[in-house]
Amino acid sequence: MQKKIIYKSLAATVVAATFTACSLPGVVQRAENKNTPAQYAAGAVTDTTSTAATKWKEYFADANLQELINTALTNNQELNITLQEIEVAKSEIRARKGEYLPFVSLGASADVTKASRNTTQGTLEHNLEIVPGKENPEPLPNYMAGLRANWEIDVWKKLRNAKKSAVNRYLASVEGKNFMVTNLVAEIANSYYELLALDNQLELVNQNIQIQTNALEIVKVQKEAARVTELAVKRFQAQVLNTQSLQYEIKQKIVETENRINFLVGRFPQTVKRSSGTFASLNPNMVKSGIPSQLLANRPDIKQAEYELEAAKLDIKVAKARFYPQLGISAGLGYQAFNASYLVKPESLIYTLAGDLAAPLVNRNAIKAAYITANAKQVQAAYNYEQKILNAYIEVANQLSKISNLDNSYKLKSQEVDALTQSINISNDLFKSARADYMEVLMTQRDALESKFDLIETKMQQMNAMVNVYRALGGGWK
């Protein structure tokens, strides 16, 4: 009779499981597209050598810049916060691994029970002598000590897939840290080159102040000789004052840029060591782009998105497994007695062993919602992965084009600066001989100053493009 009941229970469970498995919500998963173009530009040479493989200490030769990056990798607060997030993700793996191992606990308890004489239990306790010839203690104490164990048998790999998902999210967090390092290195390098450019602009302004002051003195002499009017003196004086005010604007930008670097390296404001005198002679590194498909391995943000996508796929399996029966085993082993001194006796030994099989049958809305959500997040993760690939490709293509165009622009601006520098001397000579008016001198000085500013700005953009293409290719985190 008892066997028939067991068989009927198992049959009912199997039927419920079959019904459950056959009635999963209909959802659509999405396979990610990893295809990339063969090259970054039409007609480009296909070469698998990539600058991304170069370590940042080799890519950035400036010792002062290297020192700043080294300090930032140790002290930057945001990076250290991310490192703690990695520890959190690592702990999640530990937690998920523990779920598919048996849970064993050691426990002890003591209680006192006074049963009513007008109940079956009370009557039995009153009439039954535990020790012959002695009246049972009332109230009756109960002492127990032993081990308890619970174990969910991972038949559908729900728990193991949850652990694998946690592992992928941990790996994603590591790649997230690598991507942060890449951006941190690039941001410090860009700020450093901006600081060098500002130093050179300040030096240029100081030189022009001297030139304009000398021109102002010449105009004053000519006014005394009645060759020019007071208007010319005032215009030259206004130009000197304008350039002097520009000097303080640049000084403020230098302070702000220094403090931006100080923030990135995790320290309070102080002077940033730098080699400003070498800025004009800096030449951007030669960049080898490799092929677009290498971005999938080199870019930490793409690898992070890939791990998150794999985790999302496993989450679907975990959510799907919740529809199936859950098999659990529980056991207990210990001692129980009404007297503490009897606990060590063999007669006080107790043990239990039980198994249970249960499947959700009615009101599965929460499980369905979790399953649909997991599928939606997988589709979302696939689109995110594709977006990262597309964004990386466009970033590299833009920076490669920028490097080429800036190189041509710098050559032309250098020629412009040479021409305008010569025109300053020419305009001054013509002005002294009364063959040019003072407005021509003023315009020539202003144009020359602007062209030199533009040349320094273009040089900074060249260095920034060198930094940004290195970041776009996936370099900087090694």
Gyration radius of the chain's alpha carbons: 39
Which DSSP state fits 139?
S
State the Cα–Cα distance between residues 143 and 165, nearest whole angstrom. 44
State the Cα–Cα distance between residues 199 and 252, nearest whole angstrom. 11
pLDDT in tens, 340-352: 887 878 888 899 9
Task: For residue 41, report the phi and psi dihedrals to the nearest 5 degrees.
Answer: -145, 150
pLDDT in tens, 205-232: 998 899 888 888 888 888 888 878 888 8
Query: Hey, CA dihedral for 416, 421, 422, 424, is it positive or negative?
Result: positive
State the pLDDT at residue 305: 97
pLDDT in tens, 162-217: 999 999 999 999 999 999 999 999 999 999 999 999 999 999 999 889 988 888 88
How sure is the predictor about 44, in pLDDT bands with cuts at 50, 70 and 90? low
Give Cα separations from 51 to 284, 326, 394, 467 (angstroms): 13, 52, 17, 11
How sure is the predictor about 5, in pLDDT bands with cuts at 50, 70 and 90? very low
User: Where does CATH 1.20.1600.10 sit in the chain?
Assistant: 28-100+160-324+361-473
Q: Which H/E stretch holds residue 159?
A: helix 158-224
- Single pTM value for the model: 0.85
User: Where does CATH 2.20.200.10 sit in the chain?
Assistant: 104-153+326-358
CATH superfamily placement of domain 104-153+326-358: Outer membrane efflux proteins (OEP) (2.20.200.10)
In the CATH hierarchy, which top-level class contains the domain 28-100+160-324+361-473? mainly alpha
The pairing of strands 326-337 and 349-358 is antiparallel
Among 117-126, 234-243, 419-428, where is mean pLDDT lowest?
A: 117-126
350-355: average pLDDT: 90
Average pLDDT, the chain: 88
